[in-house]
Chain A
Amino acid sequence: MGKSHEKLLNNLEELRKSTGLTQQELSESAEVSRKSINAIENGIYVPSTVLALKISKTLGCKVENIFELP
């Protein structure tokens, strides 16, 4: 797990890089700003359910693979 929020661990940066996507590309696909993706990766922001599902759909994995409770 990378830099995570105290209430939600995330693996987003690692998974995103493994799929070869940039933050910009992922943000466009998930219909948010690049800074939102950056904030999630750095544990600053906990995404909504809808956004978490959009990210997981783009990365082709389950939400549980990206986020988990500490």
Chain B
Amino acid sequence: MTYFKRFLVIFISGTVQVFFAAYLMLELLGLSLGWHLLNHNIMFVPGVLVFLGAAYLTLSYYYLDTNKINNALYDEFTALRAYKLGSIGYGLNGMGIFILFSIQDWSNWSFQMANSMIYQIAAFAWLVFGVLLVSFSIGDYQESKSG
């Protein structure tokens, strides 16, 4: 594993998630894009990518790489970056959920609307997670080159 390979794995997973989550978010909020995904099974792609990416990173850490490489790739400075981004994501999710609650039509509340709101929250959390992955991958790789 190298910084570049890690960048590719996380960046691709994150970008694909951002695309699908943003699409789903816009659809759920009723903002028509003018086009629709024809095959809904394709919505599994981002999840599969994250699963495969995480599996590859884990395998390389435990079985493929030397301690020297792992020490560099997973040191405390990198962990701090992950913690900070995680905190930002937590905050963004909180604000997003607050906004999604605020824009609901509570006067005509129904199970259907509750279901829709849950999907909106899930899509928003998914979008934030994707943005965090992209942000982490870019910052991490830039620092490995020039930091």
Add 7 more A-B contacts to A35-B77, A36-B75, A36-B76 (CB < 8 A).
A28-B68, A31-B67, A31-B75, A32-B76, A34-B72, A36-B77, A47-B76
Q: Is the interface of B mostly helix, strand, loop or mixed?
A: helix
A-B contact count (CB 8 A): 35
A interface vs B, CB < 8 Å?
Answer: 27-28, 31-36, 38-39, 45, 47-48, 51
Inter-chain contact B76/A27, CB cutoff 8 Å: no
Inter-chain contact B71/A38, CB cutoff 8 Å: no
Inter-chain contact A35/B143, CB cutoff 8 Å: yes
Minimum CB–CB distance from B67 to chain A (whole Å) comes to 8
Inter-chain contact A38/B80, CB cutoff 8 Å: no
Inter-chain contact B80/A33, CB cutoff 8 Å: no
Which residues on the A side are within 8 Å of B72 (C-beta)?
27-28, 32-34
Which residues on the B side are within 8 Å of A36 (C-beta)?
75-77
Q: Is the interface of A mostly helix, strand, loop or mixed?
A: helix
Inter-chain contact B147/A32, CB cutoff 8 Å: no
Known: A32-B76, A48-B76. A39 touches B147 (CB 8 A): yes
Beta-carbon nearest neighbor of A48 in chain B: B76
Q: List the 7 closest pairs (A to B, CB-CB), nearest first.
A: A36-B77, A32-B75, A35-B147, A33-B72, A31-B71, A35-B143, A33-B75
Which residues on the A side are within 8 Å of B68 (C-beta)?
28
Assess whether B144 is interfacial by the CB under 8 Å rule: yes
